[in-house]
Amino acid sequence: MLDGRTVLVTGASSGIGRTTALHLAQLGANVLAGVRTPEAGEALGPTVTPVRLDVTRAPDVAALAQYRLDGLVNNAGIAVTAPLEFLPVEELRRQLEINVIAQLAVTQACMPALRATQGRIVNVSSIAGRVALPLYGPYAASKFALEALSDALRREQQEVGVILVEPGSIATPIWDRSLAAADALYAAMPPIAHERYDALVAKLRGMAEKQGEEGEPPEAVARVIATALSTARPRTRYVVGNRARVQAALARALSGRAMDKLLARAIKT
C-alpha cells in the first residue's frame, strides 16, 4: 500500500501521531517520526526512524529539507480552551503559533522534496475547523485557519496534493493535557470570570472528559490518513467519526442562528 514511500509524521510521540506513524510503518512506509525528545523516539520502537523535531524551533524545521519525502502528515498541535472574554492574548498567540504557523513552516521546508516526488500533504485538522464550540474558540480558530491554508495551498499548485483529515471525538492524551492546562488557565482568571463562566466551564469539562473516554480510537484516524496518502484520487477532506459527520452535516445545513440554538440546547441538557 505504501511500500517504499517515505513519510514524515509530526507530533509522533503520542495519540494520533504515534498511532499513525506505527500504522504507516506496518503498511510498508519508511516513516520519519517527529518527536521532541530522544526518549520519545526510543519509545516508538524499531519500525520507524525518530527525527528530533520541535515544530516551533527554526533549526529543527530547517533540517527537514535534507530528507527525500513522498508524504507529510502535519499532526503536531495543542488545544487551548478558555472563555474568550478573559483569554490572555499570549495564549491565543501560542495556540496559533503551534497549530498554524508552525504547520506552514514545516510545509515550506518539505515542499521542494514533495514537489520532486509529486507527494502529498495530510493536514490533521478537526471538526472544530467547521464548528466552533463555546470555550473552544482558540483551538477552533487554529483549525479554521489550518483549513484555509490547506485549501489555498492546494489551489496554488498542482504538483503536491493537500488533504485535510477532520477527526471528531478521538480518545487521545491531548484532551487530558488540555484539560489540565485549561484548569490552570481558568483558575488564574479574575473572580468575575468565574461568576460568569463557572457553569459553562463545568458543563464543557464534563463533555470533554466523556470525549476522552468514549471517543473513537486513534487507529480510526490513522487508517484514514493512510488512505489519503495512498489512494489514487484522494478527497480534499475526510471527516472521521460518526459524531463528526453529523456535526459537519449540521454545519452545512443550518444557518448560524439555528446552529447557535442547537448548541445551546445541547449544552443545557
- pLDDT, tens digit, for every residue of 163-214? 999 999 888 776 677 788 889 999 999 999 999 999 999 998 888 777 777 7
Lowest mean pLDDT among 81-85, 87-91, 173-177, 259-263: 173-177
The answer to whether residue 240 scores a pLDDT higher than 60 is yes
What pLDDT is stored for residue 178 in this prediction?
76
The answer to whether residue 232 scores a pLDDT higher than 80 is yes
Average the pLDDT over 36-61 and give the result.
Answer: 98
> Any idea which residue has 509529486 for its cell?
118
Helices (H), the chain: 15-26, 38-43, 58-62, 89-96, 102-117, 137-156, 173-187, 191-214, 218-230, 242-253, 256-268
Percent above pLDDT 90 for the chain: 88
Percent above pLDDT 70 for the chain: 98
Q: Give the pLDDT band of residue 66 (cuts 50, 70, 90).
A: very high
What pLDDT is stored for residue 105 in this prediction?
99
Mean of the per-residue pLDDT values for the chain? 95
Alpha carbons 22 and 163: distance in angstroms, whole number: 20
Q: Give the pLDDT band of residue 84 (cuts 50, 70, 90).
A: very high
What pLDDT is stored for residue 81 in this prediction?
94
User: What's the predicted TM-score (pTM) here?
Assistant: 0.95
The answer to whether residue 269 scores a pLDDT higher than 70 is no
Sequence-distant contacts of 182-188: CB under 8 A, at least 24 apart: 182/80, 182/81, 182/82, 182/135, 185/80, 185/82, 185/88, 185/91, 186/82, 186/83
Quote the crossing angle between the two packed helices 102-117 and 137-156, to the nearest 10°.
Answer: 30
Lowest mean pLDDT among 59-63, 119-123, 208-212, 260-264: 208-212
Structure-block grid coordinates of residue 221: 484516524
Average the pLDDT over 35-56 and give the result.
Answer: 97
The catalytic residues are: 139
The answer to whether residue 264 scores a pLDDT higher than 60 is yes
Q: Domain 6-268: give its CATH code.
A: 3.40.50.720
Average the pLDDT over 68-88 and give the result.
Answer: 97
Q: What is the DSSP letter of 217?
A: P
